[in-house]
Amino acid sequence: MPLRLRQRSLFTLLLAAWLPGPPQQKGTDRETAAILRAVESRYEAARTLQATFLERYSTGPGDARVESGTVYFSRPGRMRWEYEAPEKKLFLADGKQVWFYVPADRTATRAKTKESGDWHTPLALLAGKTRRGTFSRLCASVEPAGQASGVAAAAPDNTLLRCAPKGKGAAFSEAYFEIDPVYRLARVLIRERGGIEMEFRFAGWRENPPLAEALFHFQAPPGVAIVEESSLAPGKQ
């Protein structure tokens, strides 16, 4: 699968975060459950959010693509990812549809939110309609990440938690959430089978910044072709 298609398919994981779940997952200890509730409560209190991000996509050792930019979230269910390096791109979810636009390609891909296979939606935690129970919808259990995982927190004061996926058909094999001392997401690392990894690191969080409504509406520039994502599915012409 081409990188850009896989990037779009990589964000669906937390779309289920928009729905409520049970208060605690089986196998999650009380201390960890309290941390998860604190994270959910922090983001529930914010109507809008802004942060810088670094995204790393890897298919194996020695093969990694790193991109960076600024992300905006607005309740309910709206996100805008402005990629600035190494290539300008835009991923936008307006609450009903998702758009992926690459100016160099003169093409914008569109899909309904429920049909989109994009991994930006794992971060629906930050923009969803309902955040309580986000982690319980996603994870069968959450526990502190041990040294055996091979993943370490980026900062000594951060908490690193490992999420075991829910269901046999899960799109990922494991996920890690790094949480800073004031219960903000510092990093999300998602591992798929076959050695594929997608990682997001966040910095400069701003809570309730004034964001223009126009940020969450996509208007295709003149001459840009709009392609339905469903037409890119295998077997479609």
In a domain, 237, yes or no: no
**What is the sign of the dihedral through the CA atoms of 201, 203, 206 and 210?**
negative
In a domain, 236, yes or no: no
In a domain, 145, yes or no: yes
The pLDDT, as a whole number, for residue 10 is 43
In a domain, 165, yes or no: yes
Give the C-alpha separation, 121 to 14, whole Å: 5
- State the CATH number of the domain containing residue 163: 2.50.20.10
Neighbouring residues of 166: CB distance < 8 A, sequence distance ≥ 6: 137, 138, 139, 140
The pLDDT, as a whole number, for residue 70 is 97
Note the pTM of the prediction, 2 decimals.
0.81
The pLDDT, as a whole number, for residue 86 is 95
Task: Give the number of domains in the chain.
Answer: 1
In a domain, 164, yes or no: yes
Beta bridge partners of 64: 58
Sole residue written with tokens 């409560």: 41
How many CB atoms lie under 10 A from the CB of residue 190? 24
The pLDDT, as a whole number, for residue 20 is 36
**∠ CA 217-69-206, rounded to 5°:** 80
The pLDDT, as a whole number, for residue 84 is 97
In a domain, 149, yes or no: yes
Residue 204 sits at φ, ψ, to 5 deg, of: 65, 40
Give the C-alpha separation, 21 to 233, whole Å: 31
Question: What is the residue type of 109?
Answer: T
Q: Which tokens sit at 62?
A: 């020695």
3 state DSSP class of 171:
coil
The pLDDT, as a whole number, for residue 123 is 60
In a domain, 116, yes or no: yes
Domain span holding position 173: 3-231
pLDDT, averaged per 10 consecutive residues of the chain (237 residues), comes to: 43 37 55 88 87 92 90 88 95 90 94 63 56 70 83 92 81 88 92 87 95 95 89 53
